[in-house]
Amino acid sequence: MDLIIYYSRTENTKKVSESIAKQKNAKLIEIKDKKSRSGVLGYAMGALDSVRGKKTDIIYEKVNLSEYDTIYLGTPVWASKPTPAILQFIDENDFNNTTVVTFATMMGSGGESTVKSMNDKIKAKGGLIKHSFSLALKGNDIEQLVSDALKNE
């Protein structure tokens, strides 16, 4: 069975994750950031924390990642980087014997540097990166974008 794990502030990454879960018949786990990221202040602090590569306290259902066939790990792009919540997740989990697909959602730029940063950290923790993609969401059809992205695996 595959597993989708994601953080989402405004539901774009959540919708993409739900779409992957549907298409892969996979289990879905959402990571919650204990720090409030709502409103203008949440946005500003989020950007600042991401630029600094900061981590944060998170809440999620803990599982043994190596029990799944493929782990899909998704984040929004924040200032061309992964979110603090995803950095924290990578930091506190064991990726030995895992195969990982990383993905990011964004307005329009920074997806490549975001997934590269995730991939470097996951590889350093023993994970194998199978595929990565980033999706620019501008009212596009998420189901179609996800289905196209998964075709390239």
Ligand X SMILES: Cc1cc2nc3c(=O)[nH]c(=O)nc-3n(C[C@H](O)[C@H](O)[C@H](O)COP(=O)(O)O)c2cc1C
Stretch that binds ligand X, among 28-36, 39-47, 51-59, 92-100 (CB under 6 A): 39-47
In this complex, which beta carbon is closest to ligand X, that of residue 80 or of residue 119?
80
If the CB atoms of residues 8 and 93 are measured against ligand X, the closer one turns out to be: 8
Is residue 10 close enough to count as binding ligand X by CB under 6 A?
A: yes
> 65: closest CA among 115, 114, 132, 5?
5
Q: Counting contacts by CB under 6 A, is residue 12 touching ligand X?
A: yes
DSSP states of 49-100 as a string? HHHTT----EE-----GGGSS-EEEEEE-BTTB--HHHHHHHHHS--TT-EE
Answer yes or no whether residue 79 interacts with ligand X by CB under 6 A. Answer: yes
What the block records as the tokens of 144 is 């179609």
**Least distance in angstroms from the C-beta of 151 to ligand X:** 21
Mutual angle of helices 142-151 and 12-24, in 10-degree steps: 60
Interacting residues with ligand X (CB under 6 A): 8-14, 43, 46-47, 76-80, 105-110, 137
